[in-house]
Structure 1
């Protein structure tokens, strides 16, 4: 199962185990059970304090990692955690084995203090780049608190469960047998949902903060770059983000990041956050900005009101709120989201194996999604609004060569149809003849670009008709002391490396603005 390189790396990591652990396997006579037994045997052979034992469990194949001296400390995997979940396996081995987790002490204390009975189940797919964060967060909670249990389940191996629970999107988390959440969730987000007093405490802590010299709103590449450049100037810097990493977290492969041949979005996002944490930056995660109140005079304090009721003040602001997937905004889209309507072909594609799906959008993202899905699903219908596809020629040629793909152009999707529980088809209008057509299918993947996260800024700074923040070549907005960077702005190319450069520019411009304020203005602020 493990090649020589993975074996050596794992052996090095396992050197951090401080307490004996057991791999408790529930295996059958099937091929996947034999694969899992082989993997667990290889892991056992790498460390003297790891023992492989057999016990029955309702799910086969599955295994628990438990502390030998205290069986309450354990996590369980139903399936074979390779692919994106191999890191989850390694961390679980270390944490159950007593290696201290990389989490803030106040978060650790919060987890340990949770009372109640929490049995979590997370359904994942091995191709999902968002699933490991959820799996790792819940594993950590289970290791730290015996009131919390967690099983990570490979949906591809337990199809009857997936069908019974009508799971069509991952990660999908269940708590005590009931739906808990879908999609990417950071540790703090999960905690806020089960620790009812967490949001109030966070709001009180934020409200008590002194004004910042530079406050960055948004934690994507632009925001992270801005925070680093500001902090390196030795000025008081804060960053408030709904989710650190932003849209990068939803990006699969990245091959055009200069200096790095290949990386993946979640990995890059983790590196960005780690880099920011090397500096004296006050990071406020899971914070949604709702209103911007610009300073009444130049050099005064700008105020940002958050969804939790707290507000932050700063002498300068850098707006880097990024963008989100654009929706088609037709009947049925919201109703059947995660019930057949999806936005991530890499994450959710495996749930449509052998089925019929549609991809909405003929740009690079849409055509790439159709190509990827064609290797998994039974048939793909690509629907493009314009008369021609907009993707690169090489992608169009590849798409046209696939036998199970149909391309429909000059078509406007008008409805996603469902039976009350799941998607059963869509309706589109032929823009040339005005006729309506129905397509029977089980999944709809929307890939029509991005929309800037700037609704909350209307009336505060100048926006284009498309909602982008108007900036000049220094990142300055229409308001003195307020700067912006990244995909939320009028910067023409929405690329990671461009956003990083723009974030750096905005931070340098903010610093230049601060040092040029009259002394009396700085003191008054």
Structure 2
């Protein structure tokens, strides 16, 4: 294999966590390649405005991604496009196979993130960022004193609903069943909250809006067949999250739900393989948490390689 395909560290995923891991590894004088199938920045590129990242009162997602990319590459990290198909463990060497090339490294850092399941209804994509959200912690401030809807009935839906209820005028949970799936403690808190309302046995059919923003949720009562529209300014969708870990399934580092298991140092049980950000099972998925974990992973990569040289 050509030397231009061999690195000390390969970071798979160019989101905020991956870029931070690459920065810290590169600053430790390691050769680093960042691989991503799309443009650097990850989900930040789909975020119009970010107002909860320290140091920036308000910044566009793509702009923050560009700044993180420049910081990492200025430190010496390289960026390459590639859709990673698999990672092979060959002892001290890890082989990363993409759709167009193969790479080698002694350390691989997995930062491929997770995606929210979509309802796949009319208006969901059209109003993304214009009232449709998958993160209450990110966007609750935009809906202060507004009526909002939460779609889902599991732990995440109710947790985020309670978070929204702190500032929203009202939070209506739309659920396709006649009871919640969330743990009892969360249910009790939700039912006791005067701002929380519930629509049962409801199948969401569309998200409605005008040219600029969401105006309501159209749903069908599964018992009567009647179609109704709930007027709201925001729709928060929580019907599941999928870790993007398919290429790593043969490494033996995933749990039953497909999340990568690590310790507090971002180490997996496979030496030389680290993971960070949304591919890990955790409660808070934010740019700030990904960046923090990225700095740990980058430093731990250096520590691991230093011990190999002893």
Normalising by the smaller structure, the TM-score range is 0.7 to 0.9
* 1:74-101 deviation digits (Å, cap 9, x = unpaired): xxxxxxxxxxxxxxxxxxxxxxxxxxxx
Q: 1:303 aligns with which of 95, 103, 107?
A: 95
Separation (CA, whole Å) in 1 of partners of 2:142 and 2:202: 18
2:167 counterpart SS class: helix
2:87 counterpart SS class: strand
Is 1:240 the counterpart of 2:41? The answer is: no
Q: 2:73 aligns with which of 277, 281, 292?
A: 277
1:291 counterpart SS class: strand
Is 1:391 the counterpart of 2:183? The answer is: no
Is 1:231 the counterpart of 2:26? The answer is: yes
Separation (CA, whole Å) in 2 of partners of 1:276 and 1:436: 54
Structure 1: 5+ residue runs without aligned partners? 1-205, 350-358, 375-379, 401-405, 418-424, 520-525
| Aligned position for 2:7 | 212
Alignment of 1:146-185 (within 5 A): none
| Aligned position for 2:260 | 469
1:209 counterpart SS class: helix
Q: 2:124 aligns with which of 330, 334, 341?
A: 341
| Aligned position for 1:67 | none
Q: Tell me the TM-score normalized by structure 1.
A: 0.45
Question: Which has more radius of gyration?
Answer: 1
Separation (CA, whole Å) in 1 of partners of 2:306 and 2:116: 38
Separation (CA, whole Å) in 1 of partners of 2:164 and 2:218: 26
Alignment of 1:346-425 (within 5 A): 346=129, 364=136, 368=140, 371=143, 382=149, 384-386=151-153, 389-397=161-169, 408-413=198-203
* 1:250-308 deviation digits (Å, cap 9, x = unpaired): 223323222333323122111101111212212113x221212122x2x2x11122133
Q: 1:321 aligns with which of 109, 112, 118?
A: 112
Contact 1:383 1:407 in 2 (8 A): no
| Aligned position for 2:192 | none
Q: Tell me the TM-score normalized by structure 2.
A: 0.72
| Aligned position for 2:227 | 438
Higher relative contact order, chain-length normalized (CA < 8 Å, sep 6+): 2
2:250 counterpart SS class: coil
| Aligned position for 1:35 | none
Please state how far the C-alpha of 1:446 moved relative to its aligned partner: 6.7
| Aligned position for 1:480 | 271
Separation (CA, whole Å) in 2 of partners of 1:360 and 1:439: 21
Separation (CA, whole Å) in 2 of partners of 1:365 and 1:410: 25
Please state how far the C-alpha of 1:437 moved relative to its aligned partner: 4.2
For residues 313 and 487 of structure 1, do their structure 2 counterparts lie closer, same or farther at Cα, with a shift above 3 Å needed? same
Contact 2:149 2:171 in 1 (8 A): no
Separation (CA, whole Å) in 1 of partners of 2:127 and 2:274: 31
Structure 2: 5+ residue runs without aligned partners? 173-195, 208-216
Is 1:222 the counterpart of 2:13? The answer is: no
1:501 counterpart SS class: helix
* 1:9-48 deviation digits (Å, cap 9, x = unpaired): xxxxxxxxxxxxxxxxxxxxxxxxxxxxxxxxxxxxxxxx
Please state how far the C-alpha of 1:367 moved relative to its aligned partner: 8.1
Separation (CA, whole Å) in 2 of partners of 1:273 and 1:506: 17
| Aligned position for 2:213 | none
| Aligned position for 2:245 | 454
Separation (CA, whole Å) in 2 of partners of 1:343 and 1:458: 33
Separation (CA, whole Å) in 2 of partners of 1:386 and 1:270: 36
* 1:469-498 deviation digits (Å, cap 9, x = unpaired): 111011101211000111111344212122
Contact 1:360 1:382 in 2 (8 A): no
1:266 counterpart SS class: helix
Is 1:259 the counterpart of 2:55? The answer is: yes
* 1:443-475 deviation digits (Å, cap 9, x = unpaired): x96732643211222232422333221110111
